[in-house]
């Protein structure tokens, strides 16, 4: 569920030092990009990411891995990550 992905799963990824993770949120037709994991003793699971960047239809997203390695200007259209609208 989105709640699990945003909460416990995100905390697991943050604790493991995963620099970035995305949630392709089909019901809301958006991609949530989470970056900058860090410990937060006040957080329910002890680790968090900074506030997500929310990208919607018409927006593009750029994976950190491409920025750091091979294609610094690579982008993906959010529309390409979502199923066609009904």
- The burial class, CB within 10 Å (0-12 / 13-18 / 19+), for 32 is buried
Distance CA(8)–CA(12), nearest Å, equals 6
Contacts of residue 66, Cβ cutoff 8 Å, sequence gap at least 6: 72, 74
Contact assessment for residue 55 and residue 61, using Cβ atoms and an 8 Å cutoff: yes
What pLDDT digit, counting tens, does each position of 10-45 carry?
Answer: 999 999 999 999 999 999 999 999 999 999 999 999
- The burial class, CB within 10 Å (0-12 / 13-18 / 19+), for 45 is middle
What pLDDT digit, counting tens, does each position of 38-74 carry?
Answer: 999 999 999 999 999 999 999 999 998 776 666 667 8
Q: What H or E segment, with its residue span, contains residue 66?
A: helix 64-68
Going from N- to C-terminal start, the domains of the chain cover: 2-81
């Amino acid at each position: 569920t989105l709640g699990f992905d945003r909460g416990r799963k995100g905390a697991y990824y943050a604790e493991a030092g995963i620099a970035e993770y995305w949630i392709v949120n089909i019901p809301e037709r958006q991609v949530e990009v989470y970056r900058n994991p860090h410990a937060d003793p006040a957080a329910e699971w002890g680790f968090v990411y900074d506030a997500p960047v929310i990208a919607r239809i018409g927006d593009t997203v750029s994976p950190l891995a491409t920025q750091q390695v091979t294609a610094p200007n690579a982008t993906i259209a959010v529309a390409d990550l979502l199923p066609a609208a009904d």
